[in-house]
Structure 1
């Protein structure tokens, strides 16, 4: 399996080996376009069923988990059984420049998921061309979310999340959206007991510049997949396996969409809505001159020498919106703390006794 961060050349080598195992074309024949910096963007068609599914990943370069899940899907022993009725078109990495640099945006510093209407970037134009030429019956918009999301009460983190995007400002419950919800409901039902956090539901405010909203506005059922975070899974290995299972369920479900729209709506709304209320480390009862404080720490991701580093950064004190952390330290109960917290001018925060330090993935 690919690690969470990989150079684009590492991805090309790995994806090329996956394609060869499928007896597919050699990689250069899969190039469908190029990025701003002239890196190849690849597209793979597999299956010959009547239902067309278009899936694209890593339009945000620092969201690699679903790309890894795609590779796991393609390497699965049951792949051809899963896609028996499907023609699947996969763009595994839409933003290769951002992937290499580990940034959300492309080389022109444009968020491709806000470029659906303007089509100002070559990667956006490429996705739109595939959408028009392939004419998918379903779209899977694959992403990764930060480690800041949890249930609204803050008790559980959001390990994976989904959204049936609104296709208009009124968020109407139309056929395409009902079909997307039906697939998400199936994923939720079959995966709910396998997650260590929750399966969350994203906010559905409409933005025509977002690719998923745009495609739903064209009456094409679209699903947003989000690989989230739980516990110490900073490698996102657990999330990768969960997203692989979610993809398999979704592909299978498109052949068996529920026609009961009333129960579809009810079940979808029952999926817990997420809130940005988590941090990576929450320190409680830190004794300061002004009284006890809670310290919110978030890991900032940095790539150096082809390695992904997680740098602890103090992002706030006594933040009311922070309800929990993936690691919670109560200094009233911790016997190891030696009052050795160090905060740098850049708000990086370290403690040897609490094992708060930079680590690599």
Structure 2
């Protein structure tokens, strides 16, 4: 059975995905007529209720676990909240365990969860290559990886389509007249940073521009280590007019530098901020709907449970969810 997506709802209602997201998250800015069309499309596609209708009931312990880096970011705490809500609606229990992005800890927890007889796992992959590790998946335990592709193995994955989103970011900046576009990112040696950087490079090449190495700066995990890279970009003889930013610390640093130095830089970001409408520069925010990510991950896990309990022989599944784009002009 095909899982309805945000794009399906938007197409049926004749509106943008961003407008659907506003209704789902009970935000303003949507006319009553559009809201009525969206609510009708949601009902027709069974978008809101299909998790409960095709729930995770009927398993052995009705207990699941989420393995996640930590709960200190809005993204992961939001994901945990959405999955917990789904579990509660289905009369199930969700255990939440942090890995601190360490594969050895993830590996140990996987084995512990098998011993606890949980029915299935949602895993945000920690750093580390899993190829050649026989213990990477305890036998008979369904696992759905969320947000990141796990290095070194084929697996069932539900994530946002960051590659397509990155291409669209470049297209939007190009349409706005930007030709010198820089990339300021976090870790790009693994997913999803690798997909985001690939999209940046391929997006520029699609417009006939070879990426300039001087405009690509990565592995920035704090505001402090981002500041020198931003200063270097800002003071180039031919500085960029736009930035693609992939994680929160570089975004915060870039907005602060733009404000302090009156730097007219446009920013396309995969992260958001609390008050984007107060941005000092043009800001394009690409984001996914965490409720949809959790919902589709739960349905994917349900599919794995249907294929088991004696062992799984079907091919692994990858679900790439659409993102939405919000644009904010400087105040």
Shorter-chain TM-score: which interval? Answer: under 0.3
Instruction: Provide TM-score, normalisation by structure 2.
Output: 0.27
Instruction: Provide TM-score, normalisation by structure 1.
Output: 0.26
Considering fraction of residues, name the structure with more strand: 1
